[in-house]
Amino acid sequence: MRDWLSTLFALLVFPGFGFLFVCALAFQWIDRRVAARLQGRIGPPWFQPLADFIKLMAKEDMLPVGAHEWACAALPMVSLATVLTAALYIPVGGRAASAFEGDLIVVLFLLSIPALAYFLAGWLSVSVFSVVGGNRSLLQYFAYEVPFLMVLSGPAILSGSWSISRIAAQQSQTAWMVLVQPLGFLLALVGLIGKLKRSPFDIPKAKSEIGAGPLTEFSGRKLALWHLTLHMKTVVGIFLLVNVFLGGCSIGLAVPAALIFSVKALLILLILSVASVLYARLRIDQLANLGWRVLAPLALLQMLVIIWIGVG
């Protein structure tokens, strides 16, 4: 009975849906406040993300004639489910709902599914803006995904484990991977920006060109779920980088693990927020060239160096 309650608590409360939902709203508010301050604005009040979510859930849900209604309803739910499932394998403050050897591969696979669902959302909603945005998102996916996968395999190779928990735990005995692989951490940040479609990689949803991109025709509960998926994916992606490159909750001092983990996560969020303000949106051809001519060769070079170090 106690094991059943513990599992239910991990799934629904911590580090499950309830915790991720609160973090998603909090990170969204912090992100918007930081961006506003850097742009000379005040920014929204603390309750604005929750108010926006409730407002969208209460709005009328409409789709244009000819759209695949059941598919458009299923895609945001599938995307949200995969992000929540990936979160179960990522330790938060040293605790994960589940862990096994190879869970890093599973998490990377699960985090790639929302990008494909995002493309299908644009393709199936028949709007011209949506189709163009969906095509852009798929091309962007191929530009950042390969370098992102390669740089995240580096810490796993050096640690001799494909378990996120073990990779994070081993760094408490040696050194943080960000110190060993600073280039890998930088490339992982760039890849995460691409996954989250944040500026300067917000090409699929360029407001000045194609409205909201693949989500142009979505409204009401469907749009609320898409936004929630994106914000939760932000939290999960940041937590993943904290564990893989920043040693999780380790710091070598007598400080509460939750506080250490929170500071590291907020540091990455601050980097993402500053980058979104400093850099203008790239064109899709510029991103493709950046991904295949710069990011992929650098990621491959780092992987070869890591393999050479491991063999030596």
**What is the residue-averaged pLDDT of the chain?**
89
By three-state DSSP, how is residue 20 classified? helix
Q: What is the pLDDT of residues 242-259, one digit of tens each?
A: 999 998 887 666 677 888
Q: Is the pLDDT of residue 145 over 70?
A: yes
> How far is it, in rounded angstroms, from Cα 177 to Cα 158?
9
Report residue 1's pLDDT band, with 50, 70 and 90 as the boundaries: low
Q: Give this prediction's pTM.
A: 0.94
Assess contact for 84 and 20: CB atoms under 8 A: yes
Give the residue carrying structure tokens 């513990």.
Answer: 6
Give the residue carrying structure tokens 């309750």.
Answer: 47
pLDDT on residue 208: 67
Q: What is the pLDDT of residues 34-77, one digit of tens each?
A: 999 999 999 999 999 999 999 999 998 888 887 888 888 999 99
> How far is it, in rounded angstroms, from Cα 269 to Cα 193?
11
Report residue 122's pLDDT band, with 50, 70 and 90 as the boundaries: confident
Q: What is the pLDDT of residues 232-246, one digit of tens each?
A: 999 999 999 999 999
pLDDT on residue 141: 92
DSSP letters of 230-288? HHHHHHHHHHHHHHHHS-TT--SSS--HHHHHHHHHHHHHHHHHHHHHHSPPPPHHHHH
pLDDT on residue 167: 94
| Phi, psi (deg, nearest 5) at residue 79 | -60, -45
> How far is it, in rounded angstroms, from Cα 47 to Cα 282?
32
Peptide bond into 200 cis (omega under 30): yes
Assess contact for 141 and 292: CB atoms under 8 A: no
- Residue 92 pairs in a beta bridge with 95
What's the rounded mean pLDDT across residues 172-177?
85
Assess contact for 285 and 215: CB atoms under 8 A: no
93-102, 140-149, 219-228, 295-304 — which is least confidently predicted?
A: 93-102
What's the rounded mean pLDDT across residues 163-168?
93
Assess contact for 64 and 217: CB atoms under 8 A: yes
By three-state DSSP, how is residue 94 classified? coil
> How far is it, in rounded angstroms, from Cα 55 to Cα 28?
16
pLDDT on residue 239: 96
pLDDT on residue 147: 93
Q: Is the pLDDT of residue 311 over 80?
A: no
